[in-house]
Amino acid sequence: MLLAGCAGPSEPPYVFNEILVRNQTGLVLQQVRIRDIERNRVFECDNVAPRGICANRFRPRPYRANPIEISWKSGGKTRRSEAFVAEVPEFLDPAQPLRGVLVIDRGGAAQAFFEQGTSGLN
């Protein structure tokens, strides 16, 4: 029994190949930063215009569900999230790469989630 549990796949079932930041505020967002706490990898956008986006595509890499934290500046104030893990919804297809999306809304709250399909740049 114990060996059967160890014989499963060693790689995570999902890969991601894009990060997209959507600014739903009426202010310029500065120094938007998404940091993988365990691996100390960072995705940054210097400035994101009101109602604008910042995005980056890259070679698919495994999604390891490491804790992340998000920070940004707007209106002269710095905001930072608590560390959290972005969960992948069960209905997403492991055969298709994920897009990590961060939305900062009018109230200054951040929401992070995954999606698939056509580019979020449309």
Report pLDDT digits (tens) over 23-64: 999 999 999 999 999 999 999 999 999 999 999 999 999 999
Residue 45: exposure state from Cβ atoms within 10 A (0-12, 13-18, ≥19): buried
Cα–Cα distance, 77 to 100 (Å, whole number): 25
10-65+75-115 belongs to CATH 3.40.50: no
Two structure tokens written together for 99: 């897009």
Strands 98-104 and 110-115: antiparallel
| Each residue's pLDDT tens digit, 67-106 | 999 999 998 899 999 999 999 999 999 999 999 999 999 8
Torsion angle, CA of 106/22/86/46, rounded to 10 degrees? Answer: -100
For residues 122 and 13, which has the higher predicted lDDT (pLDDT)?
A: 13
Q: pLDDT for 5-14, tens place per residue?
A: 444 455 568 9
Amino acid 77 reads K
Domain ranges within the chain, ordered by starting residue: 10-65+75-115
